[in-house]
Amino acid sequence: MKNLQQLKLICEDMERSSNYLLEEFKTSFEKNPAYAFEWSSGAIQAANNQAVAQMITKYLTEETDQFPEDKLYSNVVRWAREKVMREGRFPSRSTSPMSNESARCQASAWAEVLDKLGELYV
């Protein structure tokens, strides 16, 4: 079932689960910031999952009238593959460890989208 509806459902699910994890991090941070940061990898991944889902949703919303559904779908798949391959071949090398981790997590989020669409190993 390779269609936009499936892609939209994946993005909605990523947003929902990300919101939940970010709320957990916020609560943990309010209780004990140092401890929250020690275990913040889940929040970093959730924030990047959310960012990817929002990018895809925005693209689909803005370009719906410009392209047929199959072209929108293939554009997102191509975009996701480019993001995953770029980070895999040329990992982020910022002086900021957090920036590097965020780039890695964003590539992971794009790979998750491809995996859920059944497009990761094509």
Q: What percent of the chain has pLDDT over 70?
A: 98
Name the residue with tokens 């991944």.
Answer: 45
Torsion, Cα of 40, 111, 89, 60 (10° steps): -110
Residue 122 lies inside a defined structural domain of this protein? no
How much is the pTM? 0.89
Average pLDDT, the chain: 92
Cα(3)–Cα(77) distance, rounded to whole angstroms? 11
pLDDT digits (tens, 9 = 90+) for 9-51: 999 999 999 999 999 999 999 999 998 888 899 999 999 999 9
Higher pLDDT residue, 43 or 119?
43
Instruction: Answer yes or no: is 96 within a domain.
Output: yes
Domain that holds residue 10: 4-117
Q: How many angstroms from the chain centroid is the CA of residue 86? A: 15
Domain count of the fold of the chain: 1
What is the pLDDT at residue 96? 93
DSSP 47-93: HHHHHHHHHHHHHHHHHTTTS-HHHHHHHHHHHHHHHHHHHHHS---
Token pair recorded at residue 91: 């990992």
